[in-house]
């Protein structure tokens, strides 16, 4: 199968729009004709050179949606014509982690995953001259066709457009799940979200869905704070008015008996903000969730007394979302009007404009760009 794709050929360089060859699916795999893909800052992170696990040449992209057009031997849960969202965190439902109910980090995230290969150690993507191209997160949605494992595809309920469903491949579950499944925000609690980009906004609405009593949004931009109120924030703090450190301002809005928020979230990828989020959590049981991805070699310095005082510091991958099970559930909540999605989309574009959109993202212009094939 020959199709057009955006190829990652070198760090710090624009993606190359060209044709590639896509192999038929093998055992337990599906060939998916993609209809749309979102552009995520994780893709930009990989392109920048800050990602220590980056491989190239590769087809990036992990927020896609499309239609199964061919199934390989042994596929049982999907059939031709099913509309699906590829999952960068799979759910095989058979491994010990999947069966434990304690984590969404399936054992299918094996050694081949970071190597940019399918589970048999090979690739389905090639240049027309036969040279191999690596996969990315086992999704590779910056192409008109991709091959994905059966256990890395979530079904899209009827009536939901793929140009919106694609955003449930990363940003929406990561943010909402950070609140619902990783932190397990309680009704009536006080939450503070540091960073109101696409992930932070979805954390805000995750806190709203959980029934939080107070949701404090923190950002450096007034327009992002205004959008956060749309997603459910009850309070907004412009960190530029506090020399970039809003910890004291957050605490001033919390119950003085506790001296901080019940739940805090970091969604910037900046280690200094990670520490601020931890400091803003209350002693004696406050939880801080890290959702941002720090750069290569960066470390987080934490004073032990912050943890000895009873604060919990945890991370989240894909919001703790069990993709095949819970992505369809979130899509149903979108259909019912409970989950905001349209408000995240800055512009829909063609594949030829993908590099232009990444330049705008580097300049912090816009929330989510969606490529439609």
Q: What CATH number does residue 234 fall under?
A: 3.40.50.720
195 and 149 inside one domain: no
Asked if 320 and 182 touch (Cβ cutoff 8 Å), the reply is yes
Asked if 2 and 143 touch (Cβ cutoff 8 Å), the reply is no
253 and 105 inside one domain: no
Question: Residue 21's closest CA among 131, 137, 150?
Answer: 131
In a domain, 122, yes or no: yes
104 and 144 inside one domain: yes
Q: What is the pLDDT of residue 238?
A: 95
Q: What is the pLDDT of residue 141?
A: 98
> Which residues, listed in sequence order, are joined to residue 149 by a DSSP beta bridge?
29
Question: Residue 57's closest CA among 129, 9, 117, 5?
Answer: 9
CA dihedral 12, 16, 21, 24 (to 10 degrees): 50
137 and 209 inside one domain: no
pTM of the entire structure?
Answer: 0.94
Q: What is the pLDDT of residue 107?
A: 86
Helix (H) or strand (E) holding 60: none
Question: Residue 116's closest CA among 103, 128, 132, 104?
Answer: 132
**Domain tally, the chain:** 2
In a domain, 330, yes or no: no
In a domain, 331, yes or no: no
151 and 220 inside one domain: no
Burial of 178 from C-beta contacts in 10 A (0-12 / 13-18 / 19+): buried
CATH number, domain with residue 67: 3.90.180.10
Q: Provide the residue range defining the domain that includes 119.
A: 2-169+341-372
Mean pLDDT by 10 residues, the chain (373 residues): 95 94 96 97 86 88 97 96 96 92 86 84 95 95 97 96 96 96 96 96 98 96 95 95 92 89 94 93 93 82 84 93 96 96 96 96 91 97
Q: What is the pLDDT of residue 299?
A: 86
121 and 9 inside one domain: yes
163 and 240 inside one domain: no
In a domain, 327, yes or no: no
The residues, any chain, with a CB within 8 Å of residue 303's CB and separated by 6 or more, are none
In a domain, 222, yes or no: yes
Q: Is 140 helix (H, G, I), strand (E, B) or coil?
A: coil
Residue-by-residue DSSP string for 183-207: I-PPTT-EEEEE--SHHHHHHHHHH
163 and 238 inside one domain: no
Q: How long a stretch of residues is the chain?
A: 373
Q: What is the pLDDT of residue 169?
A: 96
Q: Where are the alpha helices (DSSP H) in the chain?
A: 41-48, 96-100, 111-115, 162-165, 171-177, 198-210, 222-231, 247-252, 271-280, 304-308, 323-335, 354-362
138 and 195 inside one domain: no
> Which residues, listed in sequence order, are joined to residue 290 by a DSSP beta bridge?
266, 315
202 and 267 inside one domain: yes
In a domain, 46, yes or no: yes
Provide the pairing of β-strand 64-71 with 29-38.
antiparallel
Burial of 229 from C-beta contacts in 10 A (0-12 / 13-18 / 19+): middle
16 and 157 inside one domain: yes
263 and 357 inside one domain: no
Asked if 282 and 254 touch (Cβ cutoff 8 Å), the reply is yes
């Amino acid at each position: 199968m020959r199709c057009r794709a955006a190829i990652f050929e070198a760090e710090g360089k624009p993606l190359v729009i060209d044709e590639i060859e896509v192999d038929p699916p093998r055992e337990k795999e599906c060939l998916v004709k993609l209809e749309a893909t979102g552009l995520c800052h994780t893709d930009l992170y990989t392109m920048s050179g800050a990602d220590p696990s980056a491989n190239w040449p590769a087809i990036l992209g992990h927020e896609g949606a499309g239609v199964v057009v061919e199934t390989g031997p042994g596929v049982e849960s999907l059939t031709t014509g099913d509309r699906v969202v590829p999952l960068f965190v799979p759910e095989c439902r058979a491994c010990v982690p999947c069966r434990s109910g304690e984590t969404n980090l399936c054992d299918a995230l094996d050694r081949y995953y970071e190597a940019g290969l399918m589970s048999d150690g090979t690739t389905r993507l090639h240049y027309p001259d036969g040279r191999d191209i690596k996969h990315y997160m086992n999704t590779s949605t910056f192409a008109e066709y991709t091959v994905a494992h059966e256990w890395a595809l979530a079904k899209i309920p009827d009536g939901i457009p793929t140009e919106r469903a694609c955003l449930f491949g990363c940003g929406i579950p990561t943010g909402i799940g950070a609140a619902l499944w990783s932190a397990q925000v309680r009704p009536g609690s006080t939450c503070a979200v540091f960073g109101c980009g696409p992930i932070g906004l979805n954390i805000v609405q995750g806190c709203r869905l959980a029934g939080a009593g107070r949701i404090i949004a923190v950002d450096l931009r007034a327009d992002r704070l205004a959008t956060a109120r749309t997603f459910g924030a009850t309070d907004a703090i412009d960190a530029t008015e506090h020399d970039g450190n809003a910890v004291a301002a957050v605490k001033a809005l919390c119950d003085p008996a506790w001296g901080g928020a019940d739940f805090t979230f970091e969604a910037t990828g900046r280690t200094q903000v990670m520490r601020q989020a931890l400091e803003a959590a209350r002693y004696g049981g406050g939880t801080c969730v890290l959702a941002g991805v720090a750069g290569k070699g960066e470390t987080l310095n934490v004073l032990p007394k912050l943890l000895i005082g009873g604060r919990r510091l945890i991370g989240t991958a894909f919001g703790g979302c069990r993709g095949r099970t819970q992505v369809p559930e979130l899509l149903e909540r979108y259909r019912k009007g409970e989950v905001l999605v349209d408000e995240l989309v800055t512009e829909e574009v063609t594949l030829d404009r993908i590099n232009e959109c990444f330049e705008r993202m580097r300049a912090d212009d816009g929330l989510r760009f969606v490529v439609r094939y």
